Structure formats: C-alpha cells, structure tokens
Structure 1
C-alpha cells in the first residue's frame, strides 16, 4: 500500500486489477492455504501436505506475480532505492533461482522428497513447517518473476527459446514424483498417519495415493499458464527486437554486423 501511495503522489497510475490480483488472489490464496483445510491437516494428511506444498510453490507466486510487485516497487522508490532493487535483481542468489536451467529442477527435487522417509519429517516438524511456509512461496516467486516482470528481467529471444525447451522438460520431470508416489504399493515414508482414528481419514496407503494424484495433477496443470505467459513474453520480446533493428541506419547495421563477427575484415575478391 505504501508503494501505491508513493506512485499516486508522484502523479502516476497503477491498475486496480493488479492491486486486487496481488492482495486478493495472491496473498488471499496464501492465507487460505496456510490457515484453511490443507494448512490445518497438512501435518497429518499426506495429500493435504502435497496440495499445500505444490500450490505454495506454483500457484501463489503466479498470482502474486500478476500484481507486478517489483515494477510497483521500482516506480515508487527513489533513485537510491531503485539502485538497490536492481542490485538485488542481478545478485547471484536471484539469478541462480530464476535461471531457466535450475528453476525446473527445484520443484523436481522438492517433490522427490515424497518418495523418501524424509517426507514424514518435513510434514510433521513444526519448525520445518514454518520454514517451508515462508521459503517455498518466496522461491516460487523468484522462479516466476522473469515471466511476470519481463521488463525488469529482460532476456533476449534466444534465451527465451531455451526456456521453452526447459519448460517442456519440466512437464516431464514434475510428473515423475507424482507417478512414483501414486503407483507405489507400500507407504514410502514408513509411518502410519497420525490421528488415523478419525473416521474420514483415508488409510496410509490411500492417503499416499491421493498425494501422488495431487502432485501429478497440480504440477502438470500449473505449467499451462506458465507456457502461455512465456508465449506472450516471447512475442513481445520478438516485436521489440525487430523494431530495434528496423530503426537502425545502414551504417549502424553494418557496424553491428562487424561487431557480431568479431571485426573480421571482408576477404578481398579473387581475380
């Protein structure tokens, strides 16, 4: 809200729908996941934990990103604040998490914990639960920011094409943990569900199967809007690059070509 007031004081305008997307859809979904059904039972039900973890990683950051918080902060901050923000955006941790090669592996590694006994510790430890509730959405936000804040995290068209390749690879990678959890015939975390005496609780194996179904479905379906965002990003970047080339004079284009070729002289004509 402070950023909105700063933009309005400077005579700027911020779309209402982006504010609503950030507050209602983004932060609202985070509150529902943390305090609602899946948040309450995530420590006792495997499928509730799977739903909460996967939506915290994918859905909440995507909805928060629709509000473009980085663009708003950049518009509201002064020169010093904008400099700090740009240094943060180009820092090694941010570039590492938002890297198109590493980002698809984050969800895969996180979801592969469901096929190990570590999933019981992650699910039942209160301290780890707090860390995951805070850290997972933040990591997911850093992964999605290059797609929602394309003006701030500008990339050339060639790198965007590479991102397309890794997004389609992510479609396959994210399915692997869910398939393993769903098809396994034994309880992978080697623990019976706490509070299994409640009549509506599924048995441990069925609970695990529901967790696998949830991981598989959410990880696959959430990639579709991401692919759409990347298509939009690519079309905008391609149009911008084409326009910049069209505006070059013949001499500028020749100089640019020579720079691209490493200033290699044109070989003399034979004969």
Structure 2
C-alpha cells in the first residue's frame, strides 16, 4: 500500500504494515534473549508479559505498523512514533527487569562480574538520574531543531539508527528512574518526582516551539505532493500536541509506579524506625527523646530530621 496516496483512516491504520528487517531481527533477538534468561530467574510471569507486550509489542507497532508506514508522510505520526519508542516501549522493557533476569541466570561467577561492572565509574555515570534525564530531554530538541529530523526522513539508515537510539535512551532513563533492576547507586524516589517536573516543563517548551515556531522540513513535505489530510502547518500543530500532551499522558503510569515505590520506601523506613525504638531500653535518654518526638510536631516525628538533629 502506498501511504502517500492512501488516506490514513481507522481501516487503513489496522491494515497497514511494512517490513523493517533490522527492527524485526533486533526485536526477535531481544525477545529470545529475554526469554532464555527469564526462564532461569524467579521473576513472575507478568514481568515477561510487560516486557513482551508493552515493550517489544509497542516497539514493533511503532516501527512496522501504521505508525511506521505513515511516519514519513505525516508530521504528527512521526511525533507519535517518537513518543511510543522513547516513552512507552522502554517503560515496558524496564518493567520486565531484564538485568535482574540476566543476573539471576548467569550463576555465581557471572553475578560477581555483573557486580563489578555495576560498580564501575562508567556505570555510575550512565545510570545517574542527571545523565538519563539530560539524554531524554536533549534528544527531541536535537532531532527537531537541527538537520537530524530531515536526515531521518530522507535516509532509511538514519531513521533506523535513530529509532534504536531512542529505545536505548528511553530504557536507560526508566532503568535509572524506576531502579527495579540492580543499579550502581540507589537514589530516593523523591528525586525522580522533582526531575519529572523539570522534564514536563522541557517537553512543554518544545511543544510550544513546534506549535508556534517555523515549519520543520517544510520543503520535504511539500515535495511529497500529498493531496489528502491536514495542511503542513496543521499537521505540525497536531504533531506538537501529540508530542507534548500525549507524552505527558503516557507518563502517568510511570508516575504511579514511582509513587508506589516511594510509599514502599517509606514503609520500610517506618519499620526500621519502629524496630529501633523497640530495641531502645526503657528509661534511657534515647527512649525519652523518642517519647518527646512522638508527642511533637510533624517535623519532630520525621525519621530523617529526627536522626540528623537528635
């Protein structure tokens, strides 16, 4: 089917598929590799479902489904593809906990080597919240506001490599943020919440630029001669909304997981504090201080502040 002459409708969206050999081979290798290590690990089945359906499934649709078919014809479809392969598919891959499955499957010697790599300086740098957030924020700006965007429209090689890069950056981001897999250093989930606010602001500014700013790759879209669908300006306006609004919407499940992990961390901290209080001998100065704290204001009952200024 020729996407240039066939209007995008619900029917054509369901029926549109294309062959993308590089992506297909890569997805198959990723699925097979994950399946091998998952069977040797104690991870529950729903982790494999998240990895295969949300991760690899969305990645496949974004590359070979109607999103991939119409990505060179409509600006907003390309924006949708970016959201799917930068935010949705990597989120599913990270929820599958592939590094945990790999660590559990390689045996004692492999786990020791795994730990050595995880403690290296390069691992600390790549897995830090600052590095992952900067990469996630910077790459859309670089793609849209440089010659990168037009290059991926005219070159299938640049297109494929860009999509692979986006999946890798997205996975690195969720790996460092969710901290479900082993990480070089564990950061409080509150850091993730604050970083998410900054990322939302950065995406919003880029969305406004795409909405109100100059046309991107206008000569390429004009040369297509598409005689159906929105105008070039309307197409870019819709694409700005897809990238900005949809990007925030698909980020909600991520925030829910972060809130859940934040609450879990608080429960563990509360249990540790309770156990410490129970082990404190009655009548001691520490026990009296704990009694005063329990009767005080909220900032007096906060475990971290109490321990710091005790």
TM-score, scaled relative to structure 1: 0.79
Residues 1:72 and 2:98 aligned together: no
Equivalent of residue 4 in structure 1, options 10, 16, 38: 38
1:92: Cα distance to partner?
Answer: 4.1
Q: Deviations over 1:29-71 (max 9, x none)?
A: 1111111122123234322222112221110011122222122
Map residues 131-142 of structure 1 onto 2, 5 A cutoff: 131-142=161-172
Alignment gaps of 5+ in structure 1: 8-12, 262-271
Alpha-carbon distance change, 191 to 85 in structure 1, aligned in 2, over 3 angstroms: farther
CA distance in 2, matches of 1:117, 1:14: 43
Map residues 176-195 of structure 1 onto 2, 5 A cutoff: 176-184=205-213, 186-193=214-221
CA distance in 2, matches of 1:200, 1:91: 54
Alpha-carbon distance change, 164 to 79 in structure 1, aligned in 2, over 3 angstroms: same
- Residue pair 2:132, 2:172 contacting (<8 A) in 1 also: no
- Residue pair 2:129, 2:176 contacting (<8 A) in 1 also: no
Equivalent of residue 34 in structure 1, options 63, 66, 77: 63
Residues 1:155 and 2:186 aligned together: yes
CA distance in 2, matches of 1:23, 1:92: 31
- Residue pair 2:129, 2:177 contacting (<8 A) in 1 also: no
Map residues 1-271 of structure 1 onto 2, 5 A cutoff: 1-7=35-41, 13-112=42-141, 113-150=143-180, 152-153=182-183, 155-156=186-187, 159-184=188-213, 186-193=214-221, 196-248=224-276, 249-250=279-280
CA distance in 1, matches of 2:148, 2:218: 10
Partner of 1:269: none
Alpha-carbon distance change, 84 to 139 in structure 1, aligned in 2, over 3 angstroms: farther
CA distance in 2, matches of 1:5, 1:190: 49
Alignment gaps of 5+ in structure 2: 1-34, 287-303
CA distance in 2, matches of 1:25, 1:102: 25
Partner of 1:265: none
CA distance in 2, matches of 1:91, 1:146: 15
Alpha-carbon distance change, 132 to 90 in structure 1, aligned in 2, over 3 angstroms: farther
Alpha-carbon distance change, 170 to 77 in structure 1, aligned in 2, over 3 angstroms: same
- Residue pair 1:150, 1:233 contacting (<8 A) in 2 also: no
Alpha-carbon distance change, 5 to 118 in structure 1, aligned in 2, over 3 angstroms: closer
* Structural RMSD (CA): 2.8
1:181: Cα distance to partner?
Answer: 0.5
Count of aligned pairs between the two proteins: 248
CA distance in 1, matches of 2:177, 2:170: 12
CA distance in 1, matches of 2:164, 2:148: 19
Q: Deviations over 1:11-40 (max 9, x none)?
A: xx4322221211122111111111112212
CA distance in 2, matches of 1:29, 1:164: 25
1:93: Cα distance to partner?
Answer: 4.5
TM-score, scaled relative to structure 2: 0.70
- Residue pair 1:122, 1:128 contacting (<8 A) in 2 also: yes
Task: Decide which structure has greater helix share.
Answer: 2
